[in-house]
Amino acid sequence: MGVRQGGFRCLCLGAGLLIAGSHAAISDDNGGNGVESGELEQSERQAILGINSVGLEETSYRFPVRYCPHERDCRDRGAWRVSLPQGLADAVLADNMAAIVPARYDRLMLSADGTRIETATEVTEIEESWVESFQFPAGGDLDAFTSHLQGYLNDQIADPLAELMAASRQARYDEMPREEQTRFIEERAREAGIPADVLEGLLSSAYTFAYHIPPIRGGQFTVRQIQRERADGTTYYVYRTSLSAPVHTRLTVFAFDGEAFEVYNIIDTEPGNFMESWAQQISGSASVTTRSRPRRDDAQAIFERAYAASFGDTVNALNVRLKDDEAFTVAAPALSADNGAVEMTVGNQENLRPGAVVRVTRVIDGEREDMGWGRVRDVGDSCLALPEDERTTTRADLVVDAGADAYDQVREIPYTGVFGRFGVGQETSTLTNGEDTDAGEPTYLDLGFVADFAFLRNNASLHGMWTSVDIGIGALGDGTFQGDEVEGGMAFRLRTGIEYRRHLLGAFYGSVGADFGVEGQRYELREEDLTATSLFVNPRVGAGYYFGPKWQVQASVGYHQPVSEDVDYDGTGDHPDVFEGGANAMLSIGYHVDFAGPFANSAAMPSERCQEIRDNGGQDPVSAGAGSQDFAGALACAQASR
């Protein structure tokens, strides 16, 4: 395929394509006890050779429109057509590049000006490396996309990779001492024009990732007319237009076996349960409020916002599901294990976050034994661009410690930091008007999400902080007012909360926090409707227990205090018009979900501190931190030859 001798010829691979060098497995052969032997190795970096576009099965959609006038029934109002052009899909991909190819990988990027290769310690620029990109016309399903791409990989990429691997076998690479292996790699790297550590990964094996977007189904625009009041008491209307159109991105992983690329795995973002489905619906939604009634032209802008939000959340979900395969997780031997914590050398270079969950294991008589699990508290400065004596270690507090020791293996667990939860709660707040009616005291069923805020924001200063959002539907108790029966109906509440958790003993923890929200209640008095709404604050304390890294249960007690209320009564005469606060209790159970859902827009990108240090000549820049920057630009792939 036209290989240039002594040079580096590069192909731009489209259709959301990455080629990754091997991710070295962690040796479990550690002398039988995992402690006395020092053979336990740390997971190695992968080399990512390209991403620049997404495969699209459809590019045009027609979503129905539902219009809901103020205080009137909703009705269907035709449909709006929107488009998903390749340029938009590729731009959204670029916006998520820091999450798709974080600093744990070596990056090879192609642009019209040449190839840019980024490793942990250096950046290499190669000129005149542009070739025609892989093209896949929109309209093909996953099978057609996979077949077409596999043919392209084997026709265009497999041969030069096989040549390199054959050369390594001819040189008896695997039997060489490490020093000779290094010299061999350096010689081949000089011939190929790429960094030696990148080439070394390719000589072992290679993976290819391909992103594909199937048709978006079930989308619907909803336009709501909302009445608002000016300061002078006059009213006017605004229009809130919303769209829910979640994207179900698919990831096909190809593996290179030395001669050809074969399908290794296909990962989708189909929800695994009700809470994941709900989370995906939330993250795939967008809305806009306008003074005038929206038109078809407004639909495209709303769709683009919804698509960008949903695609970003599916990238996170795919990253989590990819890590179900240990070949794509980060692991390292424990440097020490005492005082309920373990230390390890991997850290921000490997994109660990505060709150990340890790498992500690040991191989005994050939069997892997679980020695506990914990959460990362302090992420070490493991940037390879730093001098070795300036790097720091990562510390993880063990939630469950079954005798972890130095040299045990510490491996990250796939984790989003978000849990779906179900809860039941009992309030003692009631309606009053100078006398207690006993009406109220709602019993709630709550559905919602709770998230590790430090993990979401990638910020160690938020360690122990959790945030939540819940929707509750409840039943109200009956009461009496001035001899008339107050018949309780339904109650509704929407609340968001913040709490601090501290581990007490093992998997038990205590918490203190508060909820803030809005509540609506509906009663019947003298055969007329009485509707009460309020804003409230609810300080609370609680205790919980972790049933492993992905299940938790919590009980809490608090005090529901209304801070403002509004009571509307359709009848005449005196009526209750005040909420009386009261104590409450709640029991909830939560389980890990692969989507961030309502927290998707709050999730920070991986830290780029290590790239900043590398680009600053190995010096720690004053402005460096755990923030995020978008990694823009087209990714591409490289083709190496002897």
| Residue 632 structure tokens | 């823009």
Helix H or strand E segment including 158: helix 158-170
348: CATH: 2.40.30
Q: How many domains in the chain? A: 3
Residue 77 and residue 61 in one domain: yes
Residue 251 and residue 171 in one domain: yes
Residue 209 C-alpha from the chain's centroid: 18
Task: Count Cβ atoms within 10 A of the Cβ of residue 114 and give its class: 0-12 exposed, 13-18 middle, 19 or more buried.
Answer: middle
Tell whether 440 is covered by a domain.
yes
For residues 363-373, average pLDDT: 88
Q: At residue 634, what are phi and psi to the nearest 5 degrees?
A: -75, 140
- Bridge pairing between strands 409-412 and 357-364: antiparallel
Q: At residue 122, what are phi and psi to the nearest 5 degrees?
A: -155, 165
Residue 123 and residue 52 in one domain: yes
Residue 101 and residue 66 in one domain: yes
Cα separation of the two ends of the chain: 14
Residue 168 and residue 53 in one domain: yes
Residue 351 and residue 273 in one domain: no
Residue 428 and residue 575 in one domain: yes
Tell whether 295 is covered by a domain.
yes
44 in Cβ contact with 51 (< 8 Å): no
Residues 6+ apart with CB under 8 A from 327: 23, 25
611 in Cβ contact with 103 (< 8 Å): yes
Please give the pLDDT value at position 185.
Answer: 66
Please report which confidence band the pLDDT of residue 30 belongs to, taking 50, 70 and 90 as the band edges.
very low
Q: In this predicted model, which residue has the larger pLDDT, 505 or 193?
A: 505
Tell whether 36 is covered by a domain.
no
Please report which confidence band the pLDDT of residue 238 belongs to, taking 50, 70 and 90 as the band edges.
very high
Longest CA–CA span in the chain (Å) reads 98
Tell whether 602 is covered by a domain.
no
Task: Count other C-beta atoms under 10 Å from residue 34's C-beta.
Answer: 27
Helix H or strand E segment including 92: helix 86-95
Residue 425 and residue 285 in one domain: no
Please give the pLDDT value at position 176.
Answer: 59
Report DSSP state, residue 378.
E
477: CATH: 2.40.160.20
- Point out which residues pair with 111 in neighbouring strands: 114
Q: Is the confidence at residue 143, as pLDDT, over 70?
A: yes
Q: Which of 398, 413, 428 is the last residue of a domain?
A: 413
* Integer Cα distance of 74 and 66 in angstroms: 7
Q: Is the confidence at residue 358, as pLDDT, over 90?
A: yes
Q: Which of 386, 413, 440 is the last residue of a domain?
A: 413
Residue 291 and residue 156 in one domain: yes
Residue 391 and residue 424 in one domain: no
Residue 498 and residue 542 in one domain: yes
Tell whether 504 is covered by a domain.
yes
Q: Which of 413, 447, 469 is the last residue of a domain?
A: 413
Tell whether 622 is covered by a domain.
no
Tell whether 248 is covered by a domain.
yes
| Residue 10 structure tokens | 């590069």
* Integer Cα distance of 329 and 451 in angstroms: 22
- Dihedral-angle region of residue 172 (phi above 0 means left; psi in -120 to 50 means alpha; beta otherwise): left
| Residue 82 structure tokens | 């929107």
What would the pLDDT profile of 475-484 be if each residue is shown by its tens digit?
A: 999 988 887 8
* Integer Cα distance of 47 and 370 in angstroms: 31
What predicted TM-score, i.e. pTM, was given to this entire model?
0.83
Please report which confidence band the pLDDT of residue 225 belongs to, taking 50, 70 and 90 as the band edges.
very high
Please give the pLDDT value at position 161.
Answer: 59
Residue 459 and residue 535 in one domain: yes
Tell whether 608 is covered by a domain.
no
| Residue 629 structure tokens | 């920057």
* Residue-number span of the structural domain to which 491 is assigned: 418-592
For residues 525-551, average pLDDT: 93
In three-state secondary structure terms, 483 is coil
* Integer Cα distance of 444 and 187 in angstroms: 69
What would the pLDDT profile of 629-640 be if each residue is shown by its tens digit?
A: 333 333 333 333
* Integer Cα distance of 544 and 622 in angstroms: 40
* Integer Cα distance of 380 and 396 in angstroms: 10
